[in-house]
Amino acid sequence: MNEGDRRIRSVLVVGGGSAGWMSAAMLATMLKRDCTVTLVESDAIGIVGVGEATIPPIRLFNETLGISEADFIRETRGTFKLGIEFVDWGQVGTRYFHPFGPHGRNFDMVPLHQYWLKTREEPGAFPLEDLSMAWQIARAGRMARPVPDQRSLLSTFDYAYHFDASLYAAFLRRHAEARGVTRVEGKIDDVTLNGETGFVESVTLEGGQKLEADLFIDCSGLRALLIEGALQTGFEDWSHWLPCDRAVAMPCASAGAPTPYTRSTAREAGWQWRIPLQHRIGNGYVYSSQFLEDDKAASLLASRLDGEALGDPRFVRFRTGRRKQHWNRNVIAVGLSSGFLEPLESTSIHLIQANISKLIGLFPDRDFDPATIAEFNRIAHAETDRIRDFLILHYKLTQRQDHELWRYVSAMDVPDTLALKMDHFRRHGRLIAREMDLFAPPSWLAVHIGQHNYPEGLDPLIEHRGIDARDYLAKLRAAMAAEAAKLPSHEAYIAGLTGTAAAA
């Protein structure tokens, strides 16, 4: 080897599942010359595999890999997702929708929601979500792709997917292996560090096989074998803000046509997810072990399924927070090894994608420039911190006082970065965007308004404009409903895309 050539020659992905195979597939796509990509996993080690809902950036990831949407939906038994319906979060008996896309379309110098706020208590007032194209389509059980014509209301929404995580991992494995990725079966027994640099040199499997690499991707899940087990990177604990530390998952049989949205229902000591796929419904209960025992959580979940249970309950224990470094020496943590944020806003798959994308954008050579590593960690920390704040907002804004968890979170202090955003909205209904905000202002608006956190005043500019928007808002709402009614049903859309028969 030419000593002046410092290119990475070998990458070892430790762990499979969605994180491992997403990493391997992207690396195989981007590293086309003189670099081997190997993935080691054990069939004896199960994957968490409960994260089946996504947010819109997953589409770009699949497109970058050259995966067609039709193949993806067919192979993963996927459905479409236009947003999340939140039930009983603000108060018991209330619900709201967090859409993918904006509310309405701005027609003036002032954001549209300011005009809605001005008219919300007048005769004929209607919910803010009625001005969301995504909600109008979702509520009608329909689906279509957004159109490119910006003049059309059908350009004002976005979408993501629900899919079977184990089928997605298998699909990506086939994709990656076809592009040269080598899979090695086995459990890791030992990790060898360089005595001088502290870098990982190799991993040794239980049978004695040694696997060396220049760069290691830790996709070993909550065990974090390399980033924590070998390198002792450290962990920043956020459980005082996000106290749920358990999840129990239990799929059930389908019950009618799959809805084109996820549902999150606030429960006694946490919340329940409902994710409709083509062949079943994914269900789970995320809860705090301080306030609910495991057996009781499983019993409550089983009693609230829409159809017959298709398996025994599967429990996951976790601690919310992140590694103090996502990239340490020559190891990059991807997925649950980098930390855990409960899947309230379907960010688990996205955080896998985000770290893979950052790696591609800041790909190292064998010198592992500290400035490159520092920039990766700065961006990764900022993104996870912003997501953390958005999740905390859901809990902080609850008005529920019927269970101990809700009393605790509604009274707790929040991070300064979140307090600043909440203060701006409280004063004038303003939505402040920060660097690396994954969720844009419309998402924050949906939670504020959905949980009845109305501002004390409006943007002062609105009174200077002197515009009566009531007629415009009413016509916009009607036009959105009319457009949604023209679209095919969700089931028919899937059938047309995949070439399968629609359900009767």
Distances (CA, A) of 458 to 131, 230, 427, 454, 464: 19, 53, 8, 10, 12
Is position 32 annotated as part of the catalytic site? Answer: no
Nearest to 41 by CA among 145, 174, 143, 184: 184
Asked if 424 and 458 touch (Cβ cutoff 8 Å), the reply is no
Question: One of 32, 81, 118, 421 is an active-site residue; which one?
Answer: 81
DSSP, collapsed to helix, strand or coil, labels residue 158 as: coil
What residues form DSSP beta bridges with 218?
A: 14, 333
Which is it for strands 36-41 and 10-14: parallel, antiparallel or unpaired?
parallel
CA–CA separation, 430 and 457 (whole Å): 10
CA–CA separation, 382 and 436 (whole Å): 6
What residues form DSSP beta bridges with 53?
A: 162
CA–CA separation, 360 and 421 (whole Å): 32
Query: Using alpha carbons only, what angle is made at residue 55 by residues 32 and 135, rounded to the nearest 5 degrees?
Result: 145
Which is it for strands 210-212 and 95-99: parallel, antiparallel or unpaired?
unpaired
Q: Could you say which DSSP state residue 232 is in?
A: -
CB atoms within 10 A of CB 460: 9
Asked if 252 and 281 touch (Cβ cutoff 8 Å), the reply is yes
Listed in sequence order, the residues at least 6 apart from 380 whose beta carbon sits closer than 8 Å to its beta carbon are 326, 327, 338, 354, 355, 358
Report CA 498 to chain centroid distance, whole Å: 25
Nearest to 53 by CA among 469, 370, 253, 343: 343
Asked if 78 and 161 touch (Cβ cutoff 8 Å), the reply is yes
DSSP, collapsed to helix, strand or coil, labels residue 466 as: coil
Tokens representing 201 are: 């040199």
Active site residues: 81
